[in-house]
Structure 1
């Protein structure tokens, strides 16, 4: 297997761990907070965790404040891509509304991967070309 494929697999694994972390934090926080503050705090915790997991495990690079501050752009991009994807799938292609969000989420993975790779492998503004396996 190519080093790039291993990196994509690590990215997917981090995504699964991140989803579980988010949901576990949400359930734990919702026990003593209203749902929306619990949601926001769980989202922040999972995003910080995702940053460090992707930095150290997926891309095997060093975290910096710049990368940390740019990393939320991956979440924003994911939201935009999945939102547009859901609309297109439901309104233009007639995909079932219960299935469309899952399909859109899968479709957003490559875009989110490329953006997170660009942000987390940036060295002084330029992306790092090498891939560690």
Structure 2
């Protein structure tokens, strides 16, 4: 499982670039929310296939593909709660709080995506 978590984190870094590059490109033609949604869908699709192949070494299926966004929902909940705790409770700066919260969310996101990709 440590290998899977490391590969998952590396794919996460690649996924961030896969989101941000298209986001900037889409931003030249669309309003920012449309650009955000399109880039998110693109990066989520790439993340699904990369994680299926390299992290979990499992065959991608339509069912797994449909459930995969739940891992992003888990990430959103953990990072949002983390940012709130770091800024409002720990009085950390709001500029670095999302980065720390994202690091804390990796294990939760990993476990949710692992459950989806490799059911017990």
Task: Please state whether the residue corresponding to 1:62 is helix, strand or coil.
Answer: coil
Partner of 2:67: 70
Partner of 1:25: 22
Deviation at 1:119, TM superposition (A): 0.6
Deviation at 1:90, TM superposition (A): 1.3
Gaps of 5+ in 1: 128-133
Which protein shows a greater Rg? 1
| Over 2 Å off, 4+ runs | none
| Residues 67-102 of structure 1: CA deviation (Å, up to 9, x unaligned) | 111110011111111111111111111111111111
Q: Does 1:105 align with 2:102?
A: yes
Report the number of matched residues: 120
Partner of 1:83: 80
| Residues 10-38 of structure 1: CA deviation (Å, up to 9, x unaligned) | 10111011100101111121222222211
TM-score of the pair, normalised by structure 2: 0.95
